[in-house]
Structure 1
Amino acid sequence: MRTVVITGSASGIGLATAEILRDRGDRVIGVDLHDAEVVADLSTVAGRAAMVEDVRALSGGTIDAVVANAGLALSSPATVAVNFYGCVATLDGLRPLLVGSSAPRAALTSSMASLMPHDDLLVELALAGDESKALERAQELVDADLGALIYSSTKVALSRWMRRHAATPEWAGTGIPLNGIGPGIVETPMTADLIASEEQRAAMADVVPMPLNGYMQAEVPARLLAWLVSEENTHVCGQLVFVDGGSDVVIRGDSTW
């Protein structure tokens, strides 16, 4: 039986992933603000540290996989704190617990929004590790009525962080495949207000075209996450796998880079 830690496990993609893994016999340690084995606030440094220690205690010091999935879609600095710093702290903090596994795996949830317009300065500050300045920049974007750039900027930064670290001695060098998924529009509580009406859905389709089967349920990206952290995945490394109904293809055309 494998032990898998999933952040954002109380709803959406995280909940769907937890259900899939439990159904196949894995032990899941869920992390969320409520209804989870570990209740933690990943928007704060203290909450992230407490999460790592709670997982260490519950797991006995060894886990087999991490799914860093928790995220927000608010035009707020909190989105930076959770989407980027919370995710990175989860992966970095729990990586030592993976070393004792015979088949350690790690995956994160990015987004097809990583293909959308973003704020270069916010991305640079996030990747530089300066959380206070990154949060200040996010507030500047809000004040300038550019808060819509925050979400995509966090996903760009997160995807770049994953690419930069996946092949390093700390990850690939210790046998840990580190990858991410880039979902299109998933019908979850996080997106409910964005696609509530036919007009909203039509407007969203112009921004996020999904010619293959349209919007998806959370189980679709969850199945991909479940495979990425399975023992079957031995060589996929540093990849952001788009599960987006074709958005990436429509937006980027024949570019594979």
Structure 2
Amino acid sequence: MTTITTGRSYIVTGAGSGIGLATAQLLRERGATVIGVDLKGAEVQGDLSTAEGRVAAAEAALELTGGSVDAVIACAGISAPIPLTASVNFFGVTQFLDHLAPALAKSASPRAAVVSSMASLQANSPEQVAAMLAGDEALAVEIGTALAAQGPQAGYLNYSSSKRALSRWVRRESIAPRYAGAGIPLNAVAPGTVISAMTEKLLSTPEGRAMVDANVPMPLNGHSEAMVIARLLVWLTSEENTHTTGQIIYADGGADATLRGDDIWA
């Protein structure tokens, strides 16, 4: 069944490419008004790597929606092994959403969803995760800078740590007064390997595909298109979703089940 979004207004970050672009396109096809936010190729040119940029982008997007919004979908993110990744992937999502939460709460059916990753289950820096969850961006960047200085492998922890922290933030904040208390379901979708400009080079060689598949095995239908993730994000932020909240939904072709097995409750 197709989820109808006619008449609803959405703000989508990362709307210039990848999952964000697919999500914005799908929403428009289903009748929604969409304001995209990205560095380029969207209605709002916004830089989510700084506190000032996040507020400015949120305000500009809200102005274009007329001051009210029914749903926010935060897709913007990068995967570089540098501390900027922590700023964009965690603070660029959480601070942006928190700034829009009061406007969201005025909607009759407010919803919010973010894009996490299978990387949230991978090795990470507990210190950097703790800094992000404490809202200390300066410390998170300092830790990320030290990781990046050790080389790409350690630098990659900026990415996995940002996604672990984001997933934990969703669990924590989904039941808080700002979200659940205001009737706002808040969830995350955690993709496996998505075919995109970000993964194209890595997937272009047998060696690259083998490395990817060893870390993210996807027995169901293999690597996914961005639209697969978009469809789930659209349902989570539709009027149909009234009680699903605080969930990290692994849209990963079975990678989570493969890697963690059948008993995740032990």
TM-score tier by shorter-chain length is over 0.9
Verify: 1:83 aligned to 2:89, yes or no. Answer: yes
Verify: 1:171 aligned to 2:179, yes or no. Answer: yes
Distance 1:122 1:33 in 2: 26
Runs of 4 or more above 3 Å deviation: none
CA offsets, 1:166-202, max 9 Å, x none?
0111111111000000100000111222222111001
Q: Is the 8 A contact 1:62 1:99 kept in 2?
A: no
Q: In angstroms, what is the RMSD of aligned CA positions?
A: 0.9
Partner of 1:153: 161
CA offsets, 1:102-139, max 9 Å, x none?
10000000001111111111101111111011001001
SS of 1:195's equivalent in the other structure is helix
Q: Pick the aligned partner of 2:251 from 215, 226, 243.
A: 243
Partner of 2:60: 54
Verify: 1:208 aligned to 2:216, yes or no. Answer: yes
Partner of 2:69: 63
SS of 2:80's equivalent in the other structure is coil
How much has 1:254 moved relative to structure 2? 1.2
Q: Is the 8 A contact 1:79 1:154 kept in 2?
A: yes
Verify: 1:39 aligned to 2:30, yes or no. Answer: no
Unaligned regions of 5+ residues in structure 2, if any? Answer: 1-6
Q: Is the 8 A contact 1:42 1:86 kept in 2?
A: yes
Verify: 1:221 aligned to 2:221, yes or no. Answer: no
Letter in 1 for 2:183: G
SS of 1:241's equivalent in the other structure is strand
How much has 1:255 moved relative to structure 2? 2.8
Verify: 1:140 aligned to 2:114, yes or no. Answer: no
Letter in 2 for 1:30: G
Per the normalisation by structure 1, the TM-score is: 0.98
Q: Percent identity?
A: 52
CA offsets, 1:62-91, max 9 Å, x none?
100000110000001110110000000111
How much has 1:253 moved relative to structure 2? 0.5
Distance 1:89 1:191 in 2: 27
Distance 2:51 2:37 in 1: 15
Partner of 1:109: 115
SS of 2:93's equivalent in the other structure is helix
Partner of 1:7: 13
Per the normalisation by structure 2, the TM-score is: 0.95
